[in-house]
């Protein structure tokens, strides 16, 4: 095509267009690789996992190799207990600390220190958290326990909840805070009733994301909850079954095909739980932006 | 006319930066006093002293006296929660709380007063009528305050502010985020409201100040350059700076 006249010497268009195409191509391949990997992983888990899923598999407790009617019911219940316990410990502390950071701690030395520690803690390898809880709880108590697993997961959840709470509260416009105070509310009431309510979907999102992050964690449970072939009635005093440890044990430490298959089944269940939490989060977040 | 508020020798600091210099201003009761001036001249800062809302920020500090009904409210002994019951505030952007229309207006009633359910319902209606919003929302009192239009949200905030039965209403550019039709409604409302309240309004809009206010204070660089009857300020100001500003030669 003929180009329009110009008073200045023209640069060729070819290389600019080529660059445009190359970068588009590059981003598309990145997308294909990322999505492909995800589809591959989920597909494998789905195909190999679904084969062994039966009501009995989900409801019966795990048993040593060779005993019939084995399942992963105890591990599912144990995981719910351990992550539930972790949430019980981490959510109130994390939200309270996040409120402190957003409402009182900005620019203070304590606030900056706390924020720095949280960032470091978020980057810490989770196996170190497991070791810490091992030395602080498991050794003094003389036994692995589900509650030690909860504490380890809570230590991982805490900084995540704290930072998302802070970010979400800082997104609430200052004028809303001022409007609450200008009506004669105390600081506490303004924060809890108005600011937190206004950010509630964001707070919930942070909590759910941290839950989905830890519900698949294995390393912190290795030294704390361990594993047991029984129903998790010894949550406070003894080793407690959980899905991530079951997967590790069955797929890496067992020579038997049936155990490997059960491991895939457990992987399917834990993926389904995480996917469920993530989708719930998405729905919460959508409400936040479009719901009026 | 009696003075409701008297500011005396007010100086204001953001950290080490001084934003207001020796402000003296008398606000007449049951009248609208407009505060005008170019951006950054300190007019909002001045208004935010009247209900001590600046105290939310650690680095902000004031010296001087602010008498409301003869009491220096900058004195530590004056309870800030009591002060804010008496002095309501409307902000530039509407600030409905994340709750229903009804609960928005009922909030200050439940906060400050011991009232029965039916008394609250009556007073909510009264406040919504007072803010010329009742006819538009009477069928959707239970829907979220955030679902109203911008102009309705601002009138909801006015209803919420007057529900607390204050004596003074501070308005910090209340129509600058609102379309012209809704602005006109709010201006008519303010003229109605001055029968019951003492109103101080900060505005960027000089026509608005000329239309609705009884008195006008012109701020420039943290000082009150001129203060007087609105008519005089807009037709025959004493100061050259005032004249240049209102004729649009700067600011």
Specify the higher pLDDT residue, A105 or A86.
Answer: A86
Angle in degrees, CA A197, A202, A204, rounded to 5: 85
Has residue A62 been placed in a domain?
A: no
At residue B251, the pLDDT reads 59
Domains and their CATH numbers in chain B: 3-246 (3.40.50.300)
What is the band of B1 on the pLDDT scale with cuts at 50, 70, 90? low
Has residue A27 been placed in a domain?
A: no
At residue A65, the pLDDT reads 86
Has residue A87 been placed in a domain?
A: yes
Structural domain harbouring A206: 70-290
Has residue A25 been placed in a domain?
A: no
Asked if residue B161 has pLDDT above 80, the reply is yes
What is the band of A291 on the pLDDT scale with cuts at 50, 70, 90? very low
Has residue A38 been placed in a domain?
A: no
What is the band of A3 on the pLDDT scale with cuts at 50, 70, 90? confident
Has residue A151 been placed in a domain?
A: yes
Model ipTM?
0.92
Q: Taking CB atoms and an 8 Å limit, are B108 and A179 in contact across chains?
A: no
Asked if residue A287 has pLDDT above 80, the reply is no
Has residue A210 been placed in a domain?
A: yes
Per the CB < 8 A criterion, the answer to whether B218 and B233 are in contact is yes
First CA to last CA distance, chain A: 51
A89 CB contacts (<8 Å, ≥6 apart)? A150, A151, A154
Q: Taking CB atoms and an 8 Å limit, are A182 and B146 in contact across chains?
A: no
Tally of CA atoms within 13 A in the half-sphere of B194 that contains its CB: 22
State how far residue B89 is from chain A, nearest Cα, in angstroms. 6
At residue B4, the pLDDT reads 93
Residue A253 sits in a domain whose CATH number is: 1.10.3720.10
Total tally of structural domains belonging to chain A: 1
Q: Which of residues 66-125 of A touch B (CB under 8 A)?
A: 107
Has residue A115 been placed in a domain?
A: yes
Q: Taking CB atoms and an 8 Å limit, are A182 and B93 in contact across chains?
A: no
Q: Is A113 exposed, middle or buried (CB count within 10 Å of its CB: 0-12, 13-18, 19+)? A: exposed
Rounded Cα–Cα distance for residues B158 and A261 (Å): 66
Test mutation, B95, B99, B107, B202, chain A, max A CBs within 10 A: B95
What is the band of A280 on the pLDDT scale with cuts at 50, 70, 90? confident
Is A180 part of the contact surface with chain B (CB cutoff 8 Å)?
A: yes
Work out how many CB contacts closer than 8 A connect A with B.
62
What is the band of A292 on the pLDDT scale with cuts at 50, 70, 90? very low
Asked if residue A122 has pLDDT above 70, the reply is yes
Is B25 part of the contact surface with chain A (CB cutoff 8 Å)?
A: no
At residue A111, the pLDDT reads 92
- Show residues of chain B in contact with A185, CB under 8 Å: 81, 111
Q: Is B79 exposed, middle or buried (CB count within 10 Å of its CB: 0-12, 13-18, 19+)? A: exposed
Rounded Cα–Cα distance for residues A189 and A183 (Å): 11
What is the band of A150 on the pLDDT scale with cuts at 50, 70, 90? very high
């Amino acid at each position: 095509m003929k180009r329009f006249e110009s008073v200045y010497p023209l640069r060729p268009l070819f290389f600019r267009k080529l660059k445009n195409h190359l970068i588009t191509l590059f981003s598309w391949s990145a997308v294909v690789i990322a999505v492909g990997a995800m589809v591959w992983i989920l597909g494998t888990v789905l195909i190999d996992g679904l084969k062994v899923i039966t009501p009995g598999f989900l409801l019966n407790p795990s048993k040593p190799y060779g005993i019939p009617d084995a399942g992963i019911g105890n591990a599912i219940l144990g995981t719910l207990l351990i992550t539930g316990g972790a949430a019980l410990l981490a959510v109130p502390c994390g939200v309270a600390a996040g409120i402190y950071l957003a409402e009182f701690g900005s620019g203070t030395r304590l606030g900056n220190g706390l924020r720095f520690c949280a960032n470091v803690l978020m980057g810490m390898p989770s196996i170190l958290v497991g070791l810490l809880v091992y030395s602080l709880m498991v050794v003094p108590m003389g036994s692995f326990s589900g509650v030690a697993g909860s504490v380890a997961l809570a230590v991982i959840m805490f900084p995540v909840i704290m930072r998302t709470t802070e970010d979400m509260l800082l997104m609430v416009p200052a004028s809303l805070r001022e409007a609450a105070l200008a009506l004669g509310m105390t600081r506490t009431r303004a924060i809890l009733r108005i600011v937190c309510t206004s950010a509630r979907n964001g707070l919930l999102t942070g909590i759910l994301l941290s839950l989905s992050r830890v519900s698949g964690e294995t390393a912190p449970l290795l030294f704390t909850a361990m594993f047991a072939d029984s129903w998790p009635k010894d949550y406070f005093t003894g080793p407690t079954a959980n899905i991530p440890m079951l997967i590790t044990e069955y797929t890496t430490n067992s020579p038997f095909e049936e155990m490997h298959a059960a491991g895939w089944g457990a992987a399917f269940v834990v993926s389904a739980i995480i996917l469920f939490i993530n989708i719930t989060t998405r729905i919460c977040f959508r409400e936040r932006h479009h719901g009026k | 006319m009696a003075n409701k508020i008297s500011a005396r020798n007010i100086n204001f600091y953001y950290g080490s930066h001084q934003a207001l210099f020796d402000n003296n201003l008398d606000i007449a009761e049951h009248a609208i006093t407009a505060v005008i001036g170019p951006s950054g001249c300190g007019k909002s800062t001045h208004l935010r002293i009247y209900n001590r809302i600046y105290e939310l920020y650690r680095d902000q500090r004031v010296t001087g006296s602010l008498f409301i009904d003869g009491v220096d409210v900058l004195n530590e002994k004056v309870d800030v929660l009591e002060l804010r019951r008496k002095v309501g505030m409307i902000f530039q952007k509407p600030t409905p709380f994340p709750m229903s229309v009804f609960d928005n207006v009922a909030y200050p009633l439940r906060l400050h007063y011991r009232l029965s359910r039916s008394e609250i319902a009556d007073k909510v209606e009264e406040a919504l009528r007072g803010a010329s919003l009742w006819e538009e929302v009477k069928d959707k009192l239970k829907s979220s305050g955030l679902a109203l239009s911008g102009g309705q949200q601002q009138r909801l905030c006015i209803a919420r502010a007057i529900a607390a039965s204050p004596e003074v209403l501070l308005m910090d550019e209340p129509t600058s985020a609102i379309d012209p039709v809704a602005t006109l409604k709010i201006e008519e409302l303010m003229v109605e409201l001055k029968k019951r309240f003492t109103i101080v309004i900060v505005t960027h809009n000089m026509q608005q100040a000329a239309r609705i206010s009884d008195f006008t204070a012109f701020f420039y660089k943290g000082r009150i350059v001129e203060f007087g009857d609105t008519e005089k300020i807009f037709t025959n100001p004493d100061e050259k700076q005032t004249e240049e500003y209102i004729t649009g030669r700067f600011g």
